[in-house]
Structure 1
Amino acid sequence: MRGSSTAGATGAGSAERVSLSELTTSDSPRRSGTDAEHIRLLAESAAELPPILVNRRTMRVIDGTHRVHAAALRGEDSIEAVLLDCDDDEAFLLAVEVNVTHGLPLTRADRTAAAKRIIASHADWSDRAIASVTGLSHKTIGSIRRRSSGEIPQSATRRGRDGRVRPVDASAGRIQAGRMLADRPDTPLREIAREAGVCPATVRDVRARIQRGEAPVPAGRRVAVAPAATPLRPQARAEEEDEGPELSVRIRNLRKDPSLRFSESGRTLLRLLDACTVGPQEWHRISDNVPPHCVEIIVSAARECSRAWEDFAVELDQRRGRQKPG
């Protein structure tokens, strides 16, 4: 049951010794509880128990409950653990992800129950994104979502494994793309796709249908028409024009993005960004407790970090400019 992934969680570092008395083992995706025989086998093994994963905020075990019980059965009072900074939803996601394939796998009933919970907590995630965490097929996730539609709020968009947000029903985006093609026929297709919230292939299809004298939305498709005065834009584009919610909220939303969660570079970036969510009062408290002999070094290091972030922002902004069609 060893978990090697830390997707979505931040602050992962080297393992450290943690007292068993500090740990809690509630909120496991394993509905039937622990397996006594598996615990006995682990306890009798001569091998050292691999580090468990623990939510630093609550000291709740994310992955390794059987190892905790095995350590207690051996008469040990502590265990190696990797502490992660995450909220309860992220901890549950990680618990499901690592227990699908490692050690004693989750049963199908466990994974189905977990999928229903993830659909409720991450309603904007696509069926394939949830499937990649639970080990179920995307068709099974879709079926669970449909059966739960009366109990769980439904999102009009889905965030895929690549992090892109797409509408569940593209008919409104098709209609918007049709309006834009009529009003701005020389606009690049990718720009129209971005503003209408659909893919370029959909815009090409809409253009071809209009040229044939057909409606933008194929017959039989659901039509969820947005008011004409309300342009359809992806969330990311709207945030470019409006600073949006405070930094901690924006970073928390980024931590839910599968395209960042499921890559090593993405997890590194999230860990670095997480350090930026410290509020003014906390910065003052930290400042007041800096030892006098360390001030000069810390001032220099802080300024270098600031310049590094600024260089990084400039590089990203320039890359975004190069990627814009024109």
Structure 2
Amino acid sequence: MQLGQAQFEQGVIVDVDIDSLVVEGSPRSTGEDQDHIQALVEVWAPLPPVLVHRQTMRVIDGVHRLRAAQLRGDDKIAVTYFDGTESDAFVLSVESNITHGLPLSMADRKRAASRIITTHPQWSDRMIASATGLSPGTVSEIRRQAAGDTLLEGSRIGQDGRVRPVNSAVGRELAGKLIRENPGLSLRQIARAARISPETARDVRNRIHQGEDPLPKPRVRARPRPRTPAEETSRDRIAAAEQAISTARIAARVAAVDRLKSDPALRFSETGRTLLRLLNIHTLTGAEWQAIIDSVPPHCTSIVADLAHEFAGVWGEIAARIEHQTVEYG
């Protein structure tokens, strides 16, 4: 999420009166979890400071920690302030509650996404997905329902902070016109004017130099031959078995990550929360991964594939080092 580092007082923690804090507007529809509060009461180690919106003194993240402090009879609590709009404070509250502590339910995440679409309509589906813990496809569907199946025109801000047109074809057409009329423009100048990435601008320029249209032609898939009844039955059975195995693996993966999220040793340390965020990415379903794969632009496929292979190697190395450490110190 690109809310801006300047909006936090980095490293500044202050003690404030508990009675001065406001608890309202939480994205959690089920309210507070008394068992979780009691578990925090019994934690002897110092808990992370509560995140508070300075302008309203509303608790953005840490309501359960606040309640635990009240049960202990504390008058003050450690606080870190956030300076920004109330709508940005809500986004931060949602993001905080999907990365650590007691995770938001799927229904709460969808409601939060619907609200963020209203308050931040210029944000891309991927950017909202990163803040709510949903897939970009789910956010896109929520946006379509909120807009009555009419998509917003113009541009949106992506997760990387760059502004891009909703319809990339418009940007490509504009880039083509700029290249023809001003062949001396740099790729960055073209990309900035057309609101596309420099790589897309490069692809458009190469197409024009080769006498092609700025827009890539849609891929035409060859029609598969009709399958025989025997092939149909056999392949359907194989597909159903593979789907069942995949579903079971995903369920086991999600359960394992959820167990780790409930471990205070990970929840209440910065490195632990970083690990939980990384692991949570890999709990997406096959359909959600496919939606992400389908959204990769043709000119980015090789780069994304290379990075995926490299990251897979990184995870393999991490697994080996953790296993070695377990054997050495276990």
TM-score w.r.t. the length of structure 1 is 0.59
Q: Give 1:102's match in structure 2, choosing from 100, 103, 119.
A: 100
Q: Secondary structure at the match of 1:32?
A: coil
Instruction: Return the match for 1:198 from 196, 199, 206.
Output: 196
Partners of 2:176 and 2:6 in 1: CA distance: 38
Aligned: 1:216 with 2:219: no
Alpha-carbon shift at residue 208 of structure 1 (Å): 4.7
Equivalent residue in structure 1 for 2:63, among 59, 65, 78: 65
Output the CA distance in 1 between the equivalents of 2:44 and 2:195.
Answer: 56
Q: 1:53, 1:81 within 8 Å by CA — same for their partners in 2?
A: yes
Residues 130 and 141 in structure 1, CA contact (< 8 A), matched pair in contact too: yes
State the distance in 1 between where 2:19 and 2:137 align. Answer: 42
Identity value in percent: 49
- Alpha-carbon distance between aligned partners in 1 of 2:166 and 2:6, rounded to the nearest angstrom: 24
- Partner amino acid for 2:144? R
In 2: Cα distance, 1:151 partner to 1:32 partner: 30
CA distance in 1, matches of 2:205, 2:46: 63
Task: State the 1:33 CA deviation.
Answer: 0.9
Task: Pick one of 16, 19, 29 that aligns with 1:18.
Answer: 16
Deviation sequence 1:230-274 (CA, Å, 0-9, x none): xxxxxxxxxxxxxxxxxxxxxxxxxxxxxxxxxxxxxxxxxxxxx
Take 2:149 and 2:42, find their aligned partners in 1: how far apart are those partners?
A: 45
Task: Name the structure 2 match of 1:168.
Answer: 166
Alignment-derived partner of residue 137 in structure 1: 135
Tell me by how many angstroms 1:195 deviates.
1.9
Q: After TM superposition, where is structure 1 displaced by more than 6 Å over at least 4 residues in a row?
A: none
- Displacement of 1:211 in angstroms is 5.1
TM-aligned CA distance change 1:20 to 1:164, over 3 Å = same
**Per-residue CA shift, 1:95-149, capped at 9, x if unaligned?**
1111112111111112111111112111111222222221222222222222222
What is the one-letter code of the residue matched to 1:168? V
Give the conservation status (yes or no) of the 8 Å contact 2:41–2:68.
Answer: yes
Matching residue of 1:82: 80
Aligned length: 217
**SS of the residue 2:7 aligns to:** coil
Q: Which structure: greater helix fraction?
A: 2
TM score, norm. by length of structure 2: 0.58
| 1:193, distance to aligned residue in structure 2 (A) | 2.5
Spell out, residue by residue over 1:36-89, the C-alpha distance to the aligned partner (whole angstroms, 9 max, x if none): 111122223334443211111111111111111112222222222222222211
Give a deviation string over 1:256-310, Cα, whole Å, max 9, x none.
Answer: xxxxxxxxxxxxxxxxxxxxxxxxxxxxxxxxxxxxxxxxxxxxxxxxxxxxxxx
Could you tell me which residue of structure 2 aligns to residue 300 of structure 1?
none
> What residue is the counterpart of 1:38 in the other structure?
36
Residues 94/71 of structure 1: CA separation in 2 closer, same or farther (3 Å cut): same
Secondary structure at the aligned position of 2:32 is classed as coil
Change (3 A) 1:95 1:217: same
CA distance in 2, matches of 1:152, 1:90: 25
Q: Aligned with 1:80: secondary structure?
A: strand
CA distance in 1, matches of 2:79, 2:4: 13
CA spacing shift, 1:155–1:39, aligned 2, 3 Å: farther
Distance 2:72 2:4 in 1: 28
Is the Cα contact below 8 Å between 2:50 and 2:65 reproduced in 1?
Answer: yes
Task: Measure how far apart 1:173 and its partner are.
Answer: 2.1
More deviation, 14-23/56-65: 14-23
Q: Which one-letter code corresponds to 1:154 in the other structure?
A: L
SS at match of 1:54: strand
Unaligned runs of 5+ residues in structure 1 are 222-326
Q: Select the structure with the greater relative contact order (CA < 8 A; seq sep ≥ 6).
A: 1
